[in-house]
Amino acid sequence: MASTSGRPGTTSPWRPIFENVRREIANRRDEHGVVGSINWLRAQMESRGANPNVVRNIIYRDKGKLPDKRVLYSILDDLWRSTGQEPLKAPELEVVLAPGSGNDQEILQLLGREKRRTYRDFVQGVRSGTHPKLVVTGRAGSGKTLLSDYIQQALEIEPVAADRIIRLEFGGTDLGTSLTRLGGAVGATPEAIEAKLVKIGSSSAFAVQADAQADVARTILDAARAFSGSQIFILHVSMSLAGQDSMGLASLRLNTPEVPRVSASEWLWLSLFEPLARLPHTALLISMGDVPVRAAQQMGAVDGPVKLTPPTANEARRFVRARLPAANPARHEEIVQRAGRSFEELRTLTLLAEIRDPGAPDEVPVSEKSMTQLSHLVATSSDTRLREFLAAVATLTLAEFPNFRSDVLARLRAAARDGDGVEGAEPGDTLNNIELAFLDAVPGAGDTFRCFSRRLATGLRDALRTELPERHRTLHLAAASLYRNVADEDPGGDVATRYLSHLFEARAWTALASWMASHGTQQSLVQRIWLAATQELAEGAELETLARQVAGHYVVLGSYQHQDARDAFAVLAVSDDVDTRVWTALQRAEGLTLRGQFDQAEALLASLPEACAPRLEAEAALAQASIARWRGRPDEAARLVRDEVARHLARAGDDPRTRSVRAKAALWDGLIAKDRGDFTAALEAFDVVGGSDDLMSARVAFQRGDVFMKLGHFGRALEALDEAVTLAQRSEALIAEQTRYLSRRGTVHRRRGATVLAAADFEEARQVLASGHGTDRRAQGALADESEHAFWLARVDDEAALNLLAEGRYDEAIHGFERDVRRFHQYADSQGVDGTYRILRATLRLALGYGCRAVSQPFRRPFGITPALDGDHLDLRHARALLQHVVDSIEVAKDREHLGTLYRDALLAANLFAQAGDVSLDLALRSLDESRYPYQRAQAHAHAAFAALRSRSAETADEHVRASESALLETLEGAPAGERGDLELAAWLIGMDAATALVVRDGQDAGDRVAAGLVRAELAPFHADLLRQFGDSVEQEELIADVLSSDLGTLLDLRGRSTSHPLRFADMLVSLWQRGGITIGVSSAPDERVELGAA
């Protein structure tokens, strides 16, 4: 369709339409004069029964009555089409001129210039692509909502002005619910927002609270930023929310060094609205009572504020005459005087006048009393139908969900009228004029309405709750029933939240507990339910039932230290039911164990009563196994799981709680098997666990990925860790878990040669950890404690520093490892836990840093043999001393079995930097004795080959290369077709295979072996290192001429280049490789090329 809308800033939107039509018509004439001229248009207006004298005022000043404007627009449209054009398109006029727009559209014209100007400038700005950002202010009743309605309608007229239009009201008393809804609208999952909300209130530190609150806003902004199209936000901050100063259980604070306490409107502006305005391709319309002082000092890209003024006395009179044409002038004037220049009051009073008997005396002296009287009609009206209608509206108009469908309203009215519940309730009569006067149609939402006044909606809710409490409860139960089926189908959706809100309003505690047991509940609603229950319920069965579900909610999250969890545990600890008391003690013991407080956990377990359900006896045995595992006693832990837990579960039933314990037992069985190095048994156990929800699935996926990595299945490991990261971010996984999964995935990326991807994962892990600093308490303890935060940061950095070492950033890596050793020591001392494993592992990695720096060799394979290895560099001497310390410490440790994997790693690391080849070989063979799986043997044999080459024993090196290759193939037996294993190790074996040929002076054979590796595209990330190490060895052996005649010489077209090329031979090989593709003429089809330089 053709568009003739005006430019932003045009005085009247009619003028460009008029000029464009005249231009197309040219100078045609008929019996009325020049077609399209002002006089011609007057004649046409008169012929159609409209006022011909307003044509000029409409075109140049946008002044005139709505019916006349519609006629003029129709005339201009007919002229435009007569030239062969498509229909006129003027969105800023169409919404006002639409035949179904009703009196309110006329009212917009009557209310004053600023609304028309704001409307026109914003709509035209969006349509012209300038993406305006504007804040509109005004007191209640100044017309902010009505203006937003018209703007939204204009923007949604085809063609829609943006790829998405998001409108949301920050209303009610729960900011968290509004933020969750906005997050869902921009593409963030409700779980992602809830995962952030759950952390608010877990710490008393102001800075921690501020950062947790800011993280909610960051999640929404990130989702909005990720949207690739254009977007429009129409946001309103209600008066009821603006002055609030808390989110959940914590005061709202800005995430600045001063962490000042702020109101909801200040927090929204500075944390969300102003950053939102900086996004590209984003238009923003904000309406609120007033711009807070802090916000006014940081308007950023937002224009305004445009202050909407109340109607003047003349505008008010025109308004009342339009709404009450049958009333006498004295009545009109009385309403105008009492309205106090408020559009909402005008509307309320005229509505009240429509409802009351004509001519009845009105004793209400002020507008507030008028609103109160109107609200109380829900209980006092003599009109039964009106009372039933208002009660249904009050019920469906929730603070967080002000809109409702007309069919839902009809069914609720029918159910309330018949008293038979909603099942089978048939809608009654359609809405009459008086009922429709209470409602506004929601723009762009089909047959959906809302109460025309927020104040009236609040008044109706309050009146129904206080004056008719039983009816309030009954109607909310009926409303919940209307939403139950859809809520069951989508437990995480808006309808489910609405269903729960109705149950909450009805104080249907049992139904709420049942839903929480079956589906779980949003964090913000859990807090509201529990707060209300503790205030309104006396001690008894209902409170205990709710406490069980609230405690279970936080147990699943691992937030044992959350205040709600502690309060719920306190209720359950004094239960008359022994099983309930035992379950509570077990959860507390698990929380203590995960914090490393084993003595306290054991004391709590020792105090358990002997007689309890078999399921709980199994959980108690699992708790003991957990302590044994963390204390480094894997045999005892395995016995407890395999014998004690299994024996108790054999006597238990098959209810959901027992099935949960069985899954937990299988998980612990797998963890213990993994600790003992029995990876096959571990995978079998993890397969039994399954995944009942995203959290459990994420945890199992992580463990499977970790085991796959230890088995040398790097492809499967990456796939499993991708799943773990995704599920953890989608669910309410704790910060510690998310950082752990990201760090482990970063390690897999490093081992696959993708150091850039690895660095990205480590950086994201740090950001996630920073976002949750101090906001959660679980296995990692209270992150508000600096030692706890330092501990988890050290766990991330301990992995990340290996990536720095792989990139050759030796100094950064060394200092990082030293910092990690110090942090692990500090944590162990402050928490009274055993930090031996992590301290020794960080020390081992520190030794790697010194060793790599000494020989100028990044920590990645292929690892070259250089003369520096035989030297006595200070760094090398220090590396050997540190490695010897780690090996000796493990050999004398009491929990030697628990340190088995670390012992192998220490032997292999020491092998790389040993003083002589024979010492290096002995270390590799000792690691071979510790090897249980093919992948471990492949690693040990590779290190043995490395040692033999240092001693120039080609035959021994060849034997170990062949043994390693065989073990590496065995690693992949039974693996999926796409699994390629440890390609870094495969590349190293190719390099050492070529090195054995160089030792026996066969340069041509050595070149052939390297060429065979270069044509393997999957090894591309390691080709450059392979060529560099090989080139160095060729130069040392002085066999360049022999290599030129090899397959490598043909592959890289080396003939004639070695003598004329200015680079060293090793650098020349890498340079030729990095220039791009290499021709495959030896092991592949003649025309095949591998783009190596881009790898």
Q: How far apart are CA 393 and CA 348, in angstroms?
A: 16
CA proximity to 503, closest of 547, 471, 473: 473
Average pLDDT in the 252-281 region? 85
Answer yes or no: is pLDDT of 276 > 80: yes
* pLDDT bucket at 358, cuts 50 / 70 / 90: very low
Average pLDDT in the 591-606 region? 83
Helix (H, G, I), strand (E, B) or coil at 576: coil
Answer yes or no: are the C-beta atoms of 711 and 681 closer than 8 Å. Answer: no
CA proximity to 165, closest of 178, 145, 149, 188: 149
Query: What φ, ψ does residue 969 adopt, rounded to 5°?
Result: -65, -40
- Which residues lie below 8 Å from residue 1016, measured CB to CB, with a gap of 6+? none
Looking at the chain, the number of H-run helices and the number of E-run strands are 54, 16
Answer yes or no: are the C-beta atoms of 392 and 404 closer than 8 Å. Answer: no
pLDDT for the residue 362: 41
pLDDT tens digits for 707-735?
A: 999 999 999 999 999 999 998 887 767 78
pLDDT for the residue 779: 29
Give the max Cα distance, the chain. 118
- Output the pTM of the full model: 0.65
pLDDT tens digits for 220-257?
A: 999 999 999 999 999 998 877 777 777 766 778 777 77
Q: Quick one: 865 exposed, middle or buried, by C-beta within 10 A (0-12, 13-18, 19+)?
A: buried
Q: How far apart are CA 309 and CA 641, in angstroms?
A: 73
- Which residues lie below 8 Å from residue 672, measured CB to CB, with a gap of 6+? 625, 629, 634, 637, 638, 641
Average of per-residue pLDDT values in the chain: 83
- Which residues lie below 8 Å from residue 642, measured CB to CB, with a gap of 6+? 669
Helix (H, G, I), strand (E, B) or coil at 611: coil
Average pLDDT in the 669-684 region? 89
Average pLDDT in the 848-860 region? 95
The token pair at 185 is 């609208």
- Which residues lie below 8 Å from residue 207, measured CB to CB, with a gap of 6+? 259, 774
* pLDDT bucket at 354, cuts 50 / 70 / 90: low
Type of residue found at 684:
E
CA dihedral (778, 737, 185, 246) positive or negative: positive
Answer yes or no: is pLDDT of 431 > 50: yes
CA dihedral (618, 623, 629, 631) positive or negative: negative
pLDDT for the residue 1056: 63
Average pLDDT in the 558-571 region? 85
Answer yes or no: is pLDDT of 365 > 50: no
The token pair at 342 is 């408020």
Type of residue found at 835:
G
Answer yes or no: is pLDDT of 773 > 60: no
The token pair at 548 is 């069980």
Residue 997 vs residue 437, higher pLDDT: 997
Query: Which range is least confidently modeled, 230-234, 530-534, 688-692, 712-716?
Result: 688-692
* pLDDT bucket at 92, cuts 50 / 70 / 90: low
Percentage of the chain lying above the pLDDT 70 cut: 88
pLDDT tens digits for 1047-1080?
A: 998 888 887 665 567 888 999 999 888 875 443 3
- Which residues lie below 8 Å from residue 1024, measured CB to CB, with a gap of 6+? 1070, 1073, 1074
pLDDT for the residue 830: 82
Answer yes or no: is pLDDT of 777 > 80: no
Query: What φ, ψ does residue 731 adopt, rounded to 5°?
Result: -95, -165
Answer yes or no: is pLDDT of 912 > 90: yes
* pLDDT bucket at 112, cuts 50 / 70 / 90: low
Type of residue found at 909:
A
Residue 857 vs residue 94, higher pLDDT: 857
Q: How far apart are CA 148 and CA 864, in angstroms?
A: 69
Answer yes or no: is pLDDT of 56 > 70: yes
* pLDDT bucket at 98, cuts 50 / 70 / 90: low
286-300, 480-494, 927-941, range with greatest mean pLDDT:
927-941
In order of 145, 707, 760, 795, 869, the CA distances from 887 in angstroms are 73, 24, 33, 21, 20
CA proximity to 176, closest of 290, 285, 294, 268: 268
781-788 contacts, C-beta under 8 A, 24 or more apart? 781/595, 781/596, 781/831, 782/202, 782/203, 782/561, 783/203, 783/208, 783/735, 783/736, 784/202, 784/203, 784/204, 784/205, 784/208, 787/826, 787/827, 787/830, 787/831, 788/827
Pairing mode, strands 439-441 and 448-451: antiparallel
In order of 140, 165, 177, 180, 400, the CA distances from 168 in angstroms are 18, 10, 11, 11, 10
Buried residues in 388-425 as b, exposed as e (16+ CB within 10 A): bbbbbbbbbbbbbbbbbbbebbbbbbbbbeeeeebeeb
Q: How far apart are CA 914 and CA 520, in angstroms?
A: 57
Answer yes or no: are the C-beta atoms of 581 and 611 closer than 8 Å. Answer: no
First to last CA, the chain: 49
Pairing mode, strands 1089-1090 and 1078-1079: antiparallel
Q: How far apart are CA 123 and CA 101, in angstroms?
A: 18
CA proximity to 147, closest of 184, 211, 95, 196: 95
Answer yes or no: is pLDDT of 909 > 90: yes
pLDDT for the residue 52: 87
CA proximity to 480, closest of 536, 425, 553, 408: 408
pLDDT tens digits for 379-410?
A: 877 677 888 899 999 999 998 899 999 999 99
Answer yes or no: is pLDDT of 871 > 50: yes
Answer yes or no: is pLDDT of 927 > 50: yes
Answer yes or no: is pLDDT of 197 > 90: no
Distance from chain centroid for Cα 144:
32
In order of 13, 74, 157, 444, 795, the CA distances from 89 in angstroms are 12, 12, 9, 19, 61
Type of residue found at 695:
L
Query: Which range is least confidently modeled, 367-376, 575-584, 906-915?
Result: 367-376
Answer yes or no: is pLDDT of 427 > 90: no
The token pair at 325 is 């044409």
Within a 13 Å sphere around the CA of 716, how many CA atoms are in the beta-carbon half? 22
Q: How far apart are CA 822 and CA 839, in angstroms?
A: 8
pLDDT for the residue 898: 73
Within a 13 Å sphere around the CA of 712, how many CA atoms are in the beta-carbon half? 26
Answer yes or no: is pLDDT of 338 > 70: yes
Residue 848 vs residue 321, higher pLDDT: 848
Helix (H, G, I), strand (E, B) or coil at 46: helix
CA dihedral (416, 422, 428, 434) positive or negative: positive
Average pLDDT in the 972-980 region? 89
